[in-house]
Amino acid sequence: MPKKKNTFKIKGDELMKFCKKMIREGNIRRIVIRDTKGKTYAEIPVTIGIIGFVIAPLLIAVAAVAAMVEVFEVEIVRRNGKK
């Protein structure tokens, strides 16, 4: 299946809400969270098997990271090439 990457600039205080929204869409393979200088803070594989037990702690970690940086670049890798 073709993969599509989209990059978004997100304010730190909106990061967790944005990640939850992307996960709910259901066609996301991976979420990569970086600062504007390119430093990667988190790379979250989003698969059906980890939605419940693993995503919740990862989102707590995302919230902690969001407190440290003002603006993030979030790369979303989708499964089917849709935007």
Tens of pLDDT, residues 24-80:
777 788 888 888 888 888 887 776 545 555 666 766 777 777 777 778 888 888 876
Please report where in the chains the tokens 């995302």 appear, as a residue: 62
Give the CATH number of domain 4-78: 3.30.1490
Whole-number Å distance between alpha carbons of 75 and 52: 22
Which candidate, 73, 65, 76, 77, places its Cα nearest to that of 13?
Answer: 65
The phi and psi torsions of 44 (rounded to 5 degrees) equal -110, 115
Residue-wise pLDDT for 58-68, tens only, equals 667 777 777 77
The whole-angstrom separation of Cα 12 and Cα 52 is 24
Delimit the domains of the chain by residue range: 4-78
- For 32, the enclosing helix (H) or strand (E) is strand 28-35
Neighbours of 23 (CB within 10 A): 16
